[in-house]
Structure 1
Amino acid sequence: MSKATSPVRFKAKLLRPAKPANAAWTFLLVPKAASAKLPSRGQVGVEGTLEGASFSAVLEPDGQGSHWLKVDNKLREAAAVDAGDTVALEVTPSGTMPEPTVPAELRKALAAAPEANAVWADITPAARHDWIAWITSAKREDTRTRRIANACDMLATGKRRVCCFDRSGMYGKGLSAPEAM
């Protein structure tokens, strides 16, 4: 299978997530044929266009061997599209991952753990994405809290990657695309 360094073009329907009920964002599912041209079944940093509007983002694994894309209001408005529209995309793997948004609880825990914070600052954005995905994929709040504590402990001992984490979501149930309304 050839992995893309040239643009991957496809069309997809823009969907509104079922949860949270008041979500201000939309998403789309990348068709399997387009996803197969990407370099990983896990997260992939991409540069692209949605109906001609440029963006830089991370395609997330859908747990089914493909990917999904969160489309925020800014991009949706720039592309002049809305939920229910079928949109044209062109994406190219960027070779780099943008910095992830660190959840407030993790940010607070890292600030209280200087050794863990030092390793966190030294790892790649892709590794930070993995840690965050592992933590936020937990369904229960107590599991997320425990994973934050464990992450800080592991980082403080120099561990740079979360172990035993299925980046594709295909072998565990932790990663999946949002459910559409």
Structure 2
Amino acid sequence: MASKPTVFQARLLRPATPHRATWSFLLVPPDASAQLPARGLVSVDGTLNGHPFQATLEPDGQGSHWLKVPRSLREAAGATVGDTVTVDIAPVEQEPEPSVPVDLRKALAGSHQAREPWQSLTPAARRDWIFWITSAKKPETRARRIATTCEMLASGKRRACCFDRSGMYSKGLSAPVAADG
């Protein structure tokens, strides 16, 4: 990690839904989150109880972030849900390429006018488009956002318009609800 690391402790929580989730999550304390470069998505290199990982922190809608902790990372770090863990994070030096959902990939493949602008975007800009699409609560909203993405890209727009990346103003983004309160 080349950037100055941020170290904090947080409790591993189990999400209330889905009921059979194998992952856990933690809330990044506001003072630690304030040291990050953005209130929206932030990709970080880090350690959880000394075990290395790379992940993208998500906005919690309160001006801070939360981290989804896959079971494999939790187990590698020797932690269980309910434990307080030590986390050391720093923004990545090079943004990782996001995973493009199948439905968006198909839409881009079918639109030459959108595909070329998409390929010219930075990984962070592609991640923002994907996050805007996948944050839709209803399938019809998601489908409409994919169509809008293709239209906007084809018309020369490079950013998802009017999307509150922090969730602070639209209240559309938040951390999961913990199963144990």
Question: TM-score per shorter chain, which class?
Answer: over 0.9
Q: 1:28 — aligned with what?
A: 26
**Partner of 1:178: helix, strand, or coil?**
coil
Unaligned runs of 5+ in 2: none
**Partner of 2:124: helix, strand, or coil?**
helix
Q: 1:85 — aligned with what?
A: 83
- In structure 1, what is the Cα distance between the partners aligned to 2:80 and 2:36? 26
Aligned pair count reads 178
155-164 vs 95-104, which moves further: 95-104
Task: In structure 2, give the amino acid aligned to 1:32.
Answer: P
| Structure 1 residue corresponding to 2:145, chosen from 144, 147, 164 | 147
Query: Displacement of 1:73 after TM fit?
Result: 2.0
Alignment RMSD (CA, Å): 1.4
1:153-172 equivalent positions in 2, closer than 5 A: 153-172=151-170
Query: Displacement of 1:130 after TM fit?
Result: 0.8
Q: Percent identity?
A: 63
Is 1:44–1:97's contact at 8 Å kept on the other side of the alignment?
no
Is 1:45–1:95's contact at 8 Å kept on the other side of the alignment?
no
- In structure 1, what is the Cα distance between the partners aligned to 2:58 and 2:154? 27
- In structure 2, what is the Cα distance between the partners aligned to 1:48 and 1:28? 14
1:76 equivalenced with 2:70 (yes/no) = no
**Partner of 2:8: helix, strand, or coil?**
strand
- In structure 2, what is the Cα distance between the partners aligned to 1:151 and 1:41? 23
| Structure 1 residue corresponding to 2:127, chosen from 126, 129, 132 | 129
Q: 1:15 — aligned with what?
A: 13
The 4+ residue runs of structure 1 with deviation greater than 3 A are none
- In structure 1, what is the Cα distance between the partners aligned to 2:6 and 2:142? 35
What's the CA shift string for 1:34-54, capped at 9, x where partnerless? Answer: 111111111111111000100
**Partner of 2:19: helix, strand, or coil?**
coil
**Partner of 1:117: helix, strand, or coil?**
helix
Unaligned runs of 5+ in 1: none
Task: In structure 1, give the amino acid aligned to 2:128.
Answer: D
What's the CA shift string for 1:39-85, capped at 9, x where partnerless? Answer: 11111111110001001111111100000011112211211112111
100-109 vs 162-171, which moves further: 100-109
Query: Displacement of 1:126 after TM fit?
Result: 0.8
